[in-house]
Amino acid sequence: MKSLVNYGMSLLKENPVFGLYLGLCSSLAITTNLDNAVGMGISVLLVLTVSNVVISLLRKLTPDEIRIPVYIVVIATLVKAVELLIKAYAPAIDAALGVFIPLIVVNCIILGRAEAFASKNGVVSSALDGLNMGVSYTLSIVALSLIRQLLATGILNMNNPFNDTVIFDITIIPADFTIPMFSSPIGAFLTFALLAAGVAAINNRDQKKVKGA
């Protein structure tokens, strides 16, 4: 149980969206509903984990002078593979996310972890780092989408991306009490600011406890 708590705290302290403020463009743009968030989160998690593994394997073979171009080629190849898989097996996600799938190539989280971690560590550690950051990113955008969708529509729903069947569809807030603003860019920034402030408050509290100890 303690290890789970520690893992949860590490997700907050090193949170790429609310702690490091990386990947914000896609995070704010696509989190209007849960389907988009889950699709983007899984895509980033796959690319991040596999790119970390590949770059870790190549770290001793890649000259420092060309390491960034090599990282970009690896990431771009993986993103294209994921994009083609989504087009083939989850066309609803492809239609919803559009250009944001190819833009994973320039997501700061992926290139940042390649440079800061995978290029300096072994394969297993790099894979775990990719999984950790990918899960943290996915949970972050799911949280954003849950809040925005609920406040904007009063409904929480999710569809199967492979055949468009409804997984769940729950009305929680009556239509007369919804706030449509949260489906707009203003709502995205407001939701992000509140969640980022909450994460910062938790991290500051923990730092004070450590200093006090």
pLDDT digit string, tens, across residues 60-95 = 888 888 888 999 999 999 999 999 999 988 888 888
Q: Can you tell me the distance from the alpha carbon of 148 to that of 99, in angstroms, rounded to the nearest whole number?
A: 21
Asked if the model's pLDDT at residue 159 lies above 50, the reply is yes
pTM: 0.88
pLDDT digit string, tens, across residues 99-152 = 888 888 888 889 888 888 999 999 999 999 999 999 999 999 999 999 999 999
List Cα–Cα distances, 54 to 4, 23, 158, in angstroms.
28, 21, 33
Q: What are phi and psi of 174, to 5 degrees?
A: -60, 150
pLDDT at 6: 47
pLDDT at 3: 45
Place of tokens 């149980």: 1
Choice between 4 and 89, residue whose per-residue pLDDT is larger = 89
The full set of domain ranges for the chain reads 16-212
Q: What is the DSSP string of 59-99?
A: TTTS-GGGHHHHHHHHHHHHHHHHHHHHHHH-HHHHHHHGG
Determine contact, residues 56/119, Cβ cutoff 8 Å. Answer: yes
Asked if the model's pLDDT at residue 10 lies above 80, the reply is no
Q: What is the DSSP string of 151-178?
A: HHHSEEEEE-TTT--EEEEEE-S-GGG-
pLDDT at 166: 85
